[in-house]
Amino acid sequence: MPQISATFWDVGGVLLTNAWDGAQRRLALQHFALDEAEFSDRHEMVISSFERGKITLDQYLDRTIFYRPRPFTRQAFSDYMYSLSQPHAESLAVARELAASKQCFMATVNNESRELNLYRIHTFGLHEIFDVFVSSCFVRLRKPEEGIYRLALEITQTRAEECCFIDDRPLNLESASHLGMRTIHMQNAAQLRTDLAHLGLKL
């Protein structure tokens, strides 16, 4: 079995809480007393563009929240969005240890909007762990599209069988596996550490 030379990591659900997934959106809707059905219709129409970096956070909010007057400010809403991001300390520690060991190239492959992605990279020190960020907002591709995994391989110049992709969602793992990558279904930090060791990446 080829040695692992690169690991690709999802961010939301693996290293941090999700940035703006269903749970985060519901919290925001409850906090600001917004109608879920009305918001969801608008959100579904623009989320692909938002996560592909084709529209900004302000444009997203224009189309989903501030298309009519609200009793709260844009700043209050965006600040709340940012506040929902929290670290998964134990899995972050695993990633830091692996990066420090220099056993493999470290990159992310994740779906996130530009502003939230940049905030999370800098707030939680991800730039100290990862060499490259193959984020949907930068590359205009989203998981589980095959293209984003192919791009990650091309950027790192590694063969699929020498790579491991880590994600908490089976569909995203299936797409990587179809290309020949080895995969880890993230459930908790202890399991992650064990599965990395089984691939020869011992911490």
What are the tens digits of pLDDT across the range 180-197?
Answer: 999 999 999 999 999 999
Tell the CATH topology of 22-83. Answer: DNA polymerase; domain 1 (1.10.150)
Domain with CATH 3.40.50.1000 in the chain: 6-18+86-198
Give the long-range contacts of residues 133-139, CB within 8 A, separation 24 or more: 133/107, 133/108, 134/8, 134/107, 134/108, 134/109, 134/110, 135/108, 135/110, 135/111, 136/51, 136/52, 136/53, 136/110, 136/111, 136/112, 137/51, 137/52, 137/53, 137/112, 137/113, 138/53, 138/114
Q: Is the pLDDT of residue 162 over 90?
A: yes
Domain with CATH 1.10.150.240 in the chain: 22-83
pLDDT averaged over every residue in the chain: 97
What are the tens digits of pLDDT across the range 98-151?
Answer: 999 999 999 999 999 999 999 999 999 999 999 999 999 999 999 999 999 999
pLDDT score of 62: 98
CATH number of 6-18+86-198: 3.40.50.1000
